[in-house]
Amino acid sequence: MAGAWKDGNRVRLLENGEEYFPRVFETMAGARNELLVETFILFDDAVGRQLQQVLIDAARRGLRVELTVDGYGSHDLPGDFVNALTAAGVRVHVFDPRPRLFGFRVNIFRRMHRKIVVVDGRVAFVGGLNFSHDHLRDHGPAAKQDYAVEVEGPLVADIRELAEGAVAPPTHWWRRRQVGTAVATRQDAGNAVALFVARDNQHRRDEIESHYREAIRAARREVIIANAYFFPGYRLLRELRNAARRGVDVRLVLQGNPDMPWVRWVALTLYDYLLQAGVRIYEFCERPLHAKVATIDGHWATVGSSNLDPLSLSLNLEANVVVRDRAFAGSLRERLVALMARHCVVIGPEQAPPRTPWRRLLTFLAFHATRRFPRWAGLLPGHQRPALPVTVTPSANDPLGAPAGETPHSARDDAGSSADRKSRASAN
């Protein structure tokens, strides 16, 4: 699927589970033909069980229902949870399921990290929220701050094409595939120009990063990026530095209260480099930041699943929506500015780690590691598997990642794939 800018879209920003879950479940409950759902993490908690019931109800109404989860992120999903879905007619797909080897997880790299919902080919949701209770404030101090976008209009066809391709049976290259069931025709729904960008390990290896770099390079007034796992490649760091040096107000919102302590430590190695160029850094300390969003010059914005770290930019399957629309970009900007003003700590040179010889060495190593990581990533394990649903479900007491008898088939990566609950939170 080659992405192209599409006019005539309606886009709506959704913040946190309080806005996202009611809207996505309401839309799914009104489906008439099909539901396509992809998520990195699906937990057997209050939110996961609500999704389960919506999918079961849809399947019982005769809809085509496809659910794809990641074999690493959703490894502990109970067998009885999956069995209830498949018994109702939901087709469950697992991306790269692997049993533990001597107690260790082996599917660490090339995760299916996308979070996508497509309803009847008419409405789509793309963002960073998994189907788990930790995206709701009542989860407590570990509740995550995140965003998603709801899309109606011609762009939905591109989103559906990607989701469909992950679950459709493979065909020979000379055969034209007939995909899916009857869905809504492409009709204008609003005035937003938008683009769907996805990253894979074959044809679109740097698709998302390249759009970031292009937009930052063109910035004239302001760049605001809120990203949970910030350790980008050298080229993106250079664009941020150059933008700040030419007078652009560059602000980064990063984790100050991370779910994994090493996340902030890694980002700290870059602070001195960015602060010297004039980049302003804010740390969100109220609770874990899980956002993957940006807005530039009040008219460009992106929302999606891609972190700005080596896993997302060089290994994982990711998906973002990029929007050129002043109303949408303005709404995102307003929320991020409020977040910085009310819930963030400003990191200036005096708060940055001291420039000791040891830290300078770490910074030097970090730069060169990120500069060469895309090349190293190609050496990591990768394979290609057909997109088939789970054919042997786990027993009630077995987790999805270690089914009794036979390992379920995985969902397809266009090029390849190969990546305990706390460790999964890293870069999710």
**DSSP annotation string for 35-72:** EEEEES-B-SSHHHHHHHHHHHHHHHTT-EEEEEEETT
Q: CA angle 403-29-335, nearest 5°?
A: 95
- Fold (CATH) for 6-196+382-421: Endonuclease; Chain A (3.30.870)
The domain limits of the chain are 6-196+382-421, 202-377
Please confirm, yes or no, whether 113 is among the known catalytic residues.
yes
Among residues 96, 120, 146, 200, the one annotated as catalytic is 120
The DSSP output letter for 22 is H
**6-196+382-421 and 202-377, same CATH topology:** yes
Asked whether 93 and 417 are in contact (CB, 8 A), the reply is: no
Among residues 6, 75, 115, 133, the one annotated as catalytic is 115
Which pLDDT tens digits describe the chain residue by residue (428 residues)?
457 999 999 999 999 999 999 999 999 999 999 999 999 999 999 999 999 999 999 999 999 999 999 988 898 899 999 999 999 999 999 988 776 666 666 666 678 999 999 999 999 999 999 999 999 999 999 999 999 999 999 999 999 999 998 887 655 544 444 455 545 555 787 999 999 999 988 888 889 999 999 999 999 999 999 999 998 888 999 999 999 999 999 999 999 887 776 667 777 788 888 999 999 999 999 999 999 999 999 999 999 999 998 889 888 999 999 999 999 999 999 999 999 999 999 998 776 666 678 767 777 776 666 666 656 666 665 544 434 456 555 566 666 655 433 444 444 444 333 334 444 545 56
Please confirm, yes or no, whether 144 is among the known catalytic residues.
no
Distance, in Å, from the CA atom of 229 to the CA atom of 233, rounded to the nearest integer, reads 12
Among residues 6, 75, 93, 113, the one annotated as catalytic is 113
β-sheet bridge partners, residue 319: 198
Token readout for 160 is: 């559906």
Please confirm, yes or no, whether 299 is among the known catalytic residues.
no
Please confirm, yes or no, whether 422 is among the known catalytic residues.
no
Among residues 6, 75, 211, 292, the one annotated as catalytic is 292
Please confirm, yes or no, whether 297 is among the known catalytic residues.
yes
Angle between helices 234-245 and 207-218 (to 10 degrees): 10
Please give the CATH superfamily to which domain 202-377 belongs.
Answer: Endonuclease Chain A (3.30.870.10)
In sequence order, what DSSP letters do the residues of 327-351 get, joined into one string?
HHHHHHHHHHHHHHHHHEEEE-TTT
Among residues 146, 290, 325, 409, the one annotated as catalytic is 290
Token readout for 288 is: 């874990």
- pTM for the model stands at 0.88
Among residues 297, 299, 398, 414, the one annotated as catalytic is 297
**Residue 61: CB partners within 8 Å, gap ≥ 6?**
none
